[in-house]
Amino acid sequence: MTAVDNLSDKDKEFLAECEEQFKDRYTEKDEEFMKVFNAEKSIPPIVKNWWVPQNSGHRNDRRNNRHYNPYEQSGNRNYDRRGRRDYHDNYERRGNFSRTDNYERRGYNDYNRDNDNRPSYNRPYRK
Amino acid sequence: MSSHIESLEASTDYDKNNPTNSNISAPKSDDEDAPSSKKIEEHTSVVAAHYNHLKEKGLKERFNSPIFYLRNFNNWVKSVLIQEYTDKIREKDYGKPLKVLDICCGKGGDLSKWQKARVERVIFADIAKVSVQQCETRYEDLRRRCGHLYSAEFIAADCTKDTLRDKYADPSINFDIVSCQFGFHYSFESLIQARRMLTNISECLKPDGYFFGTIPDAYEIVSRAQKSQNFAFGNRIFNIKLLFDPKEGYPLFGAKYDFHLEGVVDCPEFLVNFDLLVKLAAEYGLELVYKARFSDFYKDHTEKYKQLLQRIICFESYPARPGKELIGEPSEYEHARIIWDEMDKSNTRDCIGTMSVCEWEVATIYMAFAFKKQKHVWDSNGKPSYITSADKK
């Protein structure tokens, strides 16, 4: 597969050296590989007290963790622009929360998922 | 370049916020680069064509995706990487305006992550022209919505063959960070391409700057392949098949396999023997500072970034909420059922956050890594001689 013919002498040398150095790759003699090969199958993470915002989603997670997350809006006081915006956002949110505003407000959108954004497998309540 | 996952992620990012622009934002799949010298051209065009032709998917389709949580989880990994390494740079120089190369950017799945990281400038590069155009459109859209945004540049080029530096508006630019998410492995079609890719990554990266990314872990793939029949394995959402005969050995470059991921990517990729990458990267002054398979990456960062996990909905509520169903079959949640059965359920609102086994099987194929650019001195031949941390000791 490799276009060996096009290789410079230096690269041919490099490849030869690698073939030697990594000759045991993906075999029982490859220690690192065998660690993976023999590892128990990874079990999906479990997070207790998992809470996904139901309707007015972010209200909750946002307020509770302000100082935790570097991504948190209100955590970034140092950046004026952002700080001001956040303040405004929060203020606004408490009053008339409107989703449109929310979308347009800033680039946080990717993380601001309302329930609406969740997989809509079965959402009878939305009819 | 950005491959599957990015698709995964990208999707997370934008679209949901911007339903009105679902045509633009749907970062479903991504693009990537492809490689090689002769036949390579063929492969390159296959890859580019693949991503160029991916239809933008509507919101509804996206949220019905069987890999919804996987995607979000991949976004979490990328967000964490971006945050961690921009923080590291800022530890030394707080107000530093950061310049970034997002190589294999796809449709721009990380556009808003860079915004959150408050970088100053980002150059986005990808092999698929259509993806780069979408990336630019999404950037413009984001800028309209948020007013202030980092400056950006968009380059459609095969990063495994072209010299990116020639295409920068300012070829003297130096990056603090180079990020390659779910795309670097395409360069391992051949040594020549891997070298070109590493040159593009390293040549404008400042000393002490970081190159980080995510790729499928060859050990994980090969080990699962060896345990399978016909070197093929998968589940309801993905399939991988080695396209060479392992009995004749594993090529260092061009170790091709087919990767099919539900609704996202169906495209040949190449194993990256990580030790080989480390050896090769050293020639470009890149020294490994971190690597972890996603399962370990999660453990390493879950405490610090727990809120982000929740916010971007990386996990599925178990048991299913009233009126809803789990995304996978009940058998895919045995691990959660056992915990759930043992739990004190006095608080009726409590539930578990988890992922279906099928999605997790995909997530755990990947690994994250970070390299640090070493300082150098010039040798008598005018070549850079890099100073590794071992030298310093």
Are A52 and B64 in contact, with CB atoms under 8 Å apart?
A: no
DSSP E strand stretches across chain B = 99-103, 121-126, 151-156, 175-181, 205-216, 232-234, 238-242, 256-261, 265-270, 286-293, 316-318, 351-354, 366-373, 376-378, 384-386
Q: Does B354 touch chain A (CB under 8 A)?
A: yes
C-alpha to C-alpha distance for A83 and A88, rounded to whole angstroms: 9
Contact B310 A52 (CB under 8 A): yes
pLDDT confidence of B48, banded at 50, 70, 90? low
Contact B312 A7 (CB under 8 A): no
One-letter identity of residue B203: E
C-alpha to C-alpha distance for B119 and B150, rounded to whole angstroms: 6
DSSP assignment of B166-189 equals GGSSSTT--EEEEEEES-GGGGGG
pLDDT confidence of B186, banded at 50, 70, 90? very high
* B250-275: average pLDDT: 92
Q: Is B158 annotated as a binding residue?
A: yes
- Which of B:84-113 have CB within 8 Å of A? 87, 111-113
Residue B14 has pLDDT above 80, yes or no: no
Q: Does B357 touch chain A (CB under 8 A)?
A: yes
Please indicate whether residue B83 or residue A1 has the higher confidence score (pLDDT): B83
C-alpha to C-alpha distance for A91 and A97, rounded to whole angstroms: 10
Q: What is the pLDDT of residue B387?
A: 83
Q: Is B75 annotated as a binding residue?
A: yes
Q: What is the pLDDT of residue B294?
A: 98
pLDDT confidence of B345, banded at 50, 70, 90? confident
C-alpha to C-alpha distance for A4 and A84, rounded to whole angstroms: 58
pLDDT confidence of B57, banded at 50, 70, 90? very low
How many residues can be counted in chain B?
Answer: 393
Contacts of A108 in chain B (CB under 8 A): 17, 112, 116
C-alpha to C-alpha distance for B285 and B299, rounded to whole angstroms: 29
Q: Does B231 touch chain A (CB under 8 A)?
A: no
Are B166 and B199 in contact, with CB atoms under 8 Å apart?
A: no
Token couple for A2: 């490799």
- With CA atoms as reference, the chain A residue closest to B319 would be A50
Which candidate, B77, B126, B123, B45, places its Cα nearest to that of B355?
A: B77
Residue B35 has pLDDT above 50, yes or no: no
Q: What is the pLDDT of residue B376?
A: 85
Which of A59-73, B94-108, B168-182, B196-210 is predicted with the least confidence, judged by mean pLDDT? Answer: A59-73
Contact A44 B325 (CB under 8 A): no
Q: What is the pLDDT of residue B271?
A: 98
Cα angle for residues B118, B120, B124 (degrees, 5° grid): 100
C-alpha to C-alpha distance for B344 and B328, rounded to whole angstroms: 25
- With CA atoms as reference, the chain B residue closest to A58 would be B311
Q: What is the pLDDT of residue A72?
A: 38
Task: Read off the DSSP letter of residue B372.
Answer: E
Each residue of B91-112: pLDDT tens digit?
988 888 999 999 999 999 999 9
Q: Is B204 annotated as a binding residue?
A: no
Residue B117 has pLDDT above 80, yes or no: yes
Q: Tell me the percentage of chain B whose pLDDT exceeds 90.
A: 70
Q: What is the mean pLDDT of each run of 10 residues along chain A (127 residues)?
A: 72 97 97 96 93 50 39 38 36 32 31 37 35
Token couple for B245: 């005969």
C-alpha to C-alpha distance for B367 and B31, rounded to whole angstroms: 19
Size of interface A-B (CB pairs under 8 A): 219
Each residue of A53-89: pLDDT tens digit?
654 333 333 333 334 344 434 333 333 333 333 333 3
Q: What is the pLDDT of residue B377?
A: 83
Q: What is the pLDDT of residue A54?
A: 59
Which candidate, B124, B117, B32, B49, places its Cα nearest to that of B81?
A: B117
Q: What is the pLDDT of residue A3?
A: 52
Instruction: For residue A25, give the nearest of B195, B250, B327 by CB distance.
Output: B250
Contact B323 A122 (CB under 8 A): yes
Token couple for B276: 């080989």
* A8 contacts: CB under 8 Å, gap ≥ 6: none
Which of A1-5, B199-203, B295-299, B336-340 is predicted with the least confidence, judged by mean pLDDT? Answer: A1-5
Q: What is the pLDDT of residue B41?
A: 45
Average pLDDT, chain B: 86
Residue B191 has pLDDT above 50, yes or no: yes
Are B6 and B106 in contact, with CB atoms under 8 Å apart?
A: yes
Half-sphere exposure in the Cβ direction for A102 (13 Å, CA): 21
Token couple for A83: 């700080």
DSSP E strand stretches across B217-311 = 232-234, 238-242, 256-261, 265-270, 286-293
* B136-152: average pLDDT: 94
Q: What is the pLDDT of residue B237?
A: 94
Q: What is the pLDDT of residue B141?
A: 95
Contact A46 B19 (CB under 8 A): no
* B187-207: average pLDDT: 97
Please indicate whether residue B58 or residue A66 has the higher confidence score (pLDDT): B58
Could you give the strand order of the β-sheet that contains B316-318, starting from the edge strand earlier in sequence? A46-50, B351-354, B316-318
Contacts of B353 in chain A (CB under 8 A): 45-48, 50, 52
Which candidate, B232, B98, B108, places its Cα nearest to that of B177?
A: B98
Task: Read off the DSSP letter of residue B109.
Answer: T
Task: Read off the DSSP letter of residue B119.
Answer: -
Residue B33 has pLDDT above 50, yes or no: no
Q: Closest Cα of chain A to B223: distance in Å? A: 5
* A116 contacts: CB under 8 Å, gap ≥ 6: A99
Q: What is the pLDDT of residue A26?
A: 98
Q: Closest Cα of chain A to B307: distance in Å? A: 7
Cα angle for residues B247, B251, B255 (degrees, 5° grid): 95
Residue B63 has pLDDT above 50, yes or no: yes
Residue B36 has pLDDT above 60, yes or no: no
Contact A119 B327 (CB under 8 A): yes
Contact A47 B354 (CB under 8 A): yes
One-letter identity of residue A119: P
Token couple for B315: 């996990």
* B41-51: average pLDDT: 58
Contact B353 A104 (CB under 8 A): no
Q: What is the pLDDT of residue B378?
A: 84
Residue B181 has pLDDT above 90, yes or no: yes
One-letter identity of residue A91: Y
Interface probe for A, chosen from B139, B248, B272, B310 (most Cβ of A below 10 Å), is B310
Q: What is the pLDDT of residue B12?
A: 37
Please indicate whether residue B263 or residue B181 has the higher confidence score (pLDDT): B181
Cα angle for residues B76, B77, B83 (degrees, 5° grid): 85
Q: What is the pLDDT of residue B38?
A: 34
Contacts of A112 in chain B (CB under 8 A): 17, 311
Strand partners, B211: B178, B371
* B301-324: average pLDDT: 92
Contact B219 A37 (CB under 8 A): yes
C-alpha to C-alpha distance for B122 and B112, rounded to whole angstroms: 11
Contacts of B295 in chain A (CB under 8 A): 42
Omega cis (within 30) before B319: yes
Task: Read off the DSSP letter of residue B98.
Answer: P
| Residue with token string 């606004």 | A92
Are B332 and B360 in contact, with CB atoms under 8 Å apart?
A: no
Strand partners, B288: B371
pLDDT confidence of B265, banded at 50, 70, 90? low
Which of A61-65, B1-5, B188-192, B214-218 is predicted with the least confidence, judged by mean pLDDT? Answer: A61-65
Which candidate, B112, B82, B97, places its Cα nearest to that of B211?
A: B82
* B323-331: average pLDDT: 91
Each residue of B119-139: pLDDT tens digit?
999 999 999 999 999 999 999
Interface probe for B, chosen from A2, A31, A65, A68 (most Cβ of B below 10 Å), is A2
Contact B360 A42 (CB under 8 A): yes
Q: State the CATH architecture for B36-293+366-392.
A: 3-Layer(aba) Sandwich (3.40)
Contact B276 A22 (CB under 8 A): yes
- With CA atoms as reference, the chain B residue closest to A8 would be B192
Interface probe for A, chosen from B16, B342, B362 (most Cβ of A below 10 Å), is B16
* B349-356: average pLDDT: 88
Are B92 and B85 in contact, with CB atoms under 8 Å apart?
A: no
Core vs surface per residue B179-193: b (16+ CB within 10 A) or e = bbbbbbbbbbbbbbb
